Amino acid sequence: MTSPIPYPHARPWYRTPRGLLTLALFSVGVAIPFLVSDYDLFNMTRVLAIALGVAGLNLLVGFSGQISVGHGAIFGIGGYTTMLLMLRIDVPWPLALVASIGAGLLVGLVIGIPALKLGGLNLGLFTIAIAAVFPLVVSRFSDFTGGTVGLALPTSPFVAPDGIALTPAQFGFLFALLALAGTLVLLRNITVGRFGRAYAAVRTNRILAVSNGVRVPQLKLIAFVVSSAVAGLAGGILVLVLTVATPDSYLLTFSLILLMAATVGGSRSWIGAIVGAAIVVYLPDFASKVLPGQASGQFAQLIFAVLLGVCLILAPGGLAAWGTSIARRGAALVRGRRSTAPRTPETESGSSTDPESYPETTTAFTRKEANR
């Protein structure tokens, strides 16, 4: 009786190439605050905060197959919740951030339940209406929200505890980095295993998913609520970084920019969320250097639109997926060249054609010949 073939065990994530790359990026991120200036840290912290919101949008768009053009408004709800609690009630900023998560979760429930009956273009139009109305509502209640002027903090709330020698910029960056890393772990756990297969089935064919017992409405609602809660947290962190919240920061264009960032970076890639956020933050600076003046904003929008069109045609999975594909092809090409490389005398001496290298096999073969 032959022994059964052992089932290969899956390697831990930290031993896979992607896991090692993630750990390396996190280690580099922890070292960045001690290598760059506070101004650079300010922009990088903005990247992390926007990447947080884009990652939540990736869960909704890339994994559950829903379209939302209203996440900029949820961003704003989280930001204004944080600012109002800190300025009106004097709530500490960590508790205000927790409240921003709760506000995003509540808004996700309020929007997600009626959105279950919608889908595709109808859901997109519904969320567009929310994004268009939010700045008007904030401006209308000026006595409470500050109107068009907005709300502002006197100083940065990111003050390191006693005994830790960190500037507000360094402490804010490290906090945003930890928040992003923890959120990405949570989102990844949602999109793998049983939930991941269910979302893949819903995204591929809803009717087939229902016939296999997948509860499509519940899955879509979970994705919308979690995505909204993450957007609320991202909005709270962003206003703490900027120390100001104004209605003009959460116009419909901001929601469109978040959606385009998810598409360009990669709607099914967590690294793609960081790539898309980096483009959102640094593209205006690049445009202002190339074309100074008021035309720089329009030039940045033009570059973003061209980049979006190129990605939709040449890299539908986003820049992150495109880079991963190139890396895999390069690794496969290297392995192919190694396997087809000519053998040297040293390697041929250990090949299967050399009887000296297999003494046990050679001895057994000689005994069989002698018995014959």
Asked if the structure places residue 306 within a domain, the reply is no
Do 276 and 264 contact (CB within 8 A), yes or no? yes
Whole-number Cα distances in Å, 197 to 210, 224, 275, 279: 13, 17, 26, 31
Helix then strand then coil, in percent of the chain rounded to 5, is 75, 0, 25
Q: How far apart are CA 50 and CA 110, in angstroms?
A: 23
**pLDDT surpasses 70 at 364:** no
In a domain, 263, yes or no: no
Strand partners, 151: 245
Any domain includes 273: no
Distances (CA, A) of 183 to 16, 22, 147, 187, 227: 20, 14, 32, 6, 11
Query: Is the residue at 162 inside a domain?
Result: yes
Q: Provide the residue range defining the domain that includes 78.
A: 15-250
* Ordered DSSP codes for 129-182: HHHHHHHHHHHH-HHHH-TTT-EE-SS-S--PPTT----HHHHHHHHHHHHHHH
DSSP-assigned letter for residue 350: T
In whole angstroms, give the CA distance from residue 39 to residue 126.
38
Gap between the Cα atoms of 131 and 228, Å rounded: 13
Lowest mean pLDDT among 35-44, 85-94, 236-245, 353-362: 353-362
Let me know how many helices (H) and strands (E) the chain has, helices first.
Answer: 16, 2
Residue 343 falls inside a structural domain: no
Residue 312 lies in a domain: no
| Total tally of structural domains belonging to the chain | 1
Look at the alpha carbons of 201, 205, 208, 214 in this order and tell me if their dihedral is positive or negative. positive
Phi and psi, residue 43, nearest 5°? -70, -40
Q: What is the pLDDT of residues 254-291, one digit of tens each?
A: 999 999 899 898 888 888 899 999 999 998 888 887 77
Among the residue ranges 99-108, 203-212, 227-236, the one predicted with the least confidence is 203-212
Mind listing the pLDDT tens digit for each residue in 51-106?
Answer: 999 999 999 888 888 888 889 999 999 999 999 999 999 999 999 999 999 999 99
Token output for 146: 């500050």
pTM of this structure: 0.83
In a domain, 187, yes or no: yes
Residue 188 lies in a domain: yes
